Amino acid sequence: MRHANPGFPTGPAAVLVATLVLAAVATAVWGLSWWSFGVVLGGQIITLAWLVVDMKATDRDAKNVPLPSPDQRQKRRRLVAQLHDVRDAAGALPDAVVLLDARGNVRWFNAAATRLLGLRERHPEGSLTRRLAGSELGTWLQTDMAESATDMPAPADPSLRLSVTLMPFGAHLRLLLARDISTLSRLEQVRRDFVANVSHELRTPLTVIHGYLELLDPTDVPELAPVLGEMRMQSQRMRQIVEDLLTLSRLETREALPDEEVAMVPLLETLRREAEALSRGRHGITVEASSRARLRGSIHHLHSAFSNLVSNAVRYTPSGGEIVIGWRQTADGEAVFSVRDSGLGISAEHLVRLTERFYRVSSSRSRESGGTGLGLSIVKHVLNLHQSRLVIESEPGRGSTFSCVMEASRVLPPENDGSSRAEASPD
């Protein structure tokens, strides 16, 4: 690199000195003559031209690479040090960090990415998807590209489980983060097994106790009649809790449910009859179906989820209230099964937690109504397994609407409809 020189340039100076010496020699030999005058003039023209060229070059260099001031040099050193710190910190993270460019090629990765994803420095250039081809993560990158995926095997070591997040940033860049959740995943498995085993173990003794209680006739011991009634009710509640826990455990371990054609029109009628039976004339119950579309899914599980919502509407709506069971299609091809009631309603702070196990707005109200606190949790799981979602809208004192928004690929045209069946996506 060329630096600006504040002193007189050495080249032109040498020419000037040489010119003067030559002129002195010429004067000494020939006296003051045209020769000595010519030497001095020629030398000065060369010196001047050199100086102009040198100044221009110096000026150009100075413009291109300005000399940093001591302050700027210190700032630059600080920035470089910070950059190294950030890179070292990202390099030392236990999570795999991979920086991808707009075409999905790997720009940079840390040591954990080698351990968890198997990325190595020696790898040839290429997109991350190609490098991870054949692994579940590679397939996810190729097809889903959803923002995050939980619990998938690590490409470098399938015994490890990963939670992966893909974040866009900057100009079309993306950051892939993969966290080792093996311990968490194992604990979750232990919890699931524990709940399933306990529920299973409790099932038989509870059935026996309930059976004996049913055999006892309250008229034989009239003074114990109220106690007996309470015991029967509580043992029935315990059995229901155990059954719901077992249902949840089974749903949690399922990757997919059977794909059957569910005719919604007769199912809506069945749900209405069930609601009537539960309500025993206390509510006005109607069906509003603007669509005759069918569903692709598990008849048993969808029926159980929908009837859970209907039963909640009956249980949490005071006598004289209205319940509307709805079925419609949306403009973007989804279909919505809904249950609207004019009941107690739920305040906003409870809504987000409503599908948690045993979460109740009011435990006394739930217990009185014979609830287990597991119904909505089951509904959410069933819908997840149908790639669909539960939407809850409610206002205290005015009622609630629980909507099952069924994914478009799950919606089938009515049976006698001539048009071709809706595209079904693979599970």
Interface with ligand ADP includes 376 (CB under 6 A)? yes
Cβ closer to ligand ADP: 16 or 378? Answer: 378
51: left (phi over 0), alpha (psi -120 to 50) or beta: alpha
In the complex, the smallest distance separating the C-beta of residue 384 from ligand ADP, rounded to whole angstroms, is 15
DSSP reduced 3-state for 179: strand
Task: Determine if 400 is a binding residue for ligand ADP (CB under 6 A).
Answer: yes
Place of tokens 């390099």: 91
What is the DSSP secondary structure assignment for residue 224, as one 8-state letter? G
Minimum distance from residue 373 beta carbon to ligand ADP (Å): 4
Options 313, 335, 383, 422; binder of ligand ADP; rule CB under 6 A: 313
- Site map for ligand ADP, 29-48, x if CB under 6 A? --------------------
Query: What is the number of other CB atoms lying within 10 angstroms of the CB of residue 49?
Result: 12
- Binding residues among 329-368 for ligand ADP as defined by CB under 6 A: 341, 343-344, 346, 354, 360-362, 366
Query: Which of 116, 375, 390, 403 lies at the binding interface for ligand ADP (CB under 6 A)?
Result: 375
What are the DSSP E strand ranges found in 270-354?
284-289, 294-297, 322-329, 335-341
Nearest CB to ligand ADP, comparing residues 129 and 372: 372
Nearest approach, Cβ of residue 237 and ligand ADP (Å): 10
With residue 164 as reference, give the H or E element that holds it.
Answer: strand 157-169
Provide, rounded to whole angstroms, the least separation between the CB of residue 399 and ligand ADP. 7
CA distance 313 to 217: 34
Query: CA 69: distance to chain centroid?
Result: 47
* Shortest spacing between CB 164 and ligand ADP, in angstroms: 31
Residue type, 102: A
Q: Which stretch binds ligand ADP (CB under 6 A): 13-21, 45-53, 154-162, 310-318?
A: 310-318
- Cα atoms found within 13 Å of the Cα of residue 71, Cβ hemisphere only: 0
Of 120-128, 183-191, 312-320, 328-336, the segment contacting ligand ADP by CB under 6 A is 312-320
Quote the tokens at residue 343: 């009941």
| Of positions 371, 385, 386, 412, contacts ligand ADP by CB under 6 A | 371
Nearer to ligand ADP, 295 or 354 (CB): 354
Q: Which two tokens stand for residue 384?
A: 């997840």
Query: What does the DSSP assignment read for 43-80?
Result: HHHHHHHHHHHHHHHHHHHHHHSPPPPHHHHHHHHHHH
One residue of 312, 338, 342, 388 binding ligand ADP per CB under 6 A: 312
x/- contact string, 208-247, with ligand ADP (CB under 6 A)? Answer: ----------------------------------------
307 binds ligand ADP (CB under 6 A): no
Nearer to ligand ADP, 51 or 246 (CB): 246
Kindly state whether residue 297 participates in binding ligand ADP, applying the rule CB under 6 A: no
CB nearer ligand ADP, residue 47 or residue 247 = 247
Q: Which of 47, 110, 249, 372 binds ligand ADP (CB under 6 A)?
A: 372
Angle ∠(397,308,370) on CA atoms, nearest 5: 75
Number of Cβ atoms within 10 Å of the Cβ of 77: 10
Measured from the Cβ of residue 196, the count of other Cβ atoms closer than 10 Å reads 17
Q: How far apart are CA 341 and CA 343, in angstroms?
A: 5
Contact (Cβ atoms closer than 8 angstroms) between residue 313 and residue 341: yes
| Closest CB 142 distance from ligand ADP, rounded Å | 38
- Please list, residue by residue across 378-387, b when 16 or more beta carbons sit within 10 angstroms of its beta carbon and e when fewer do: bbbbbbebbe
Quote the least distance from Cβ 358 to ligand ADP, whole Å.
8
Strand partners, 97: 177
3-state secondary structure of 233: helix
Summarize as ranges the residues that interact with ligand ADP (CB under 6 A).
312-313, 316, 341, 343-344, 346, 354, 360-362, 366, 371-377, 400
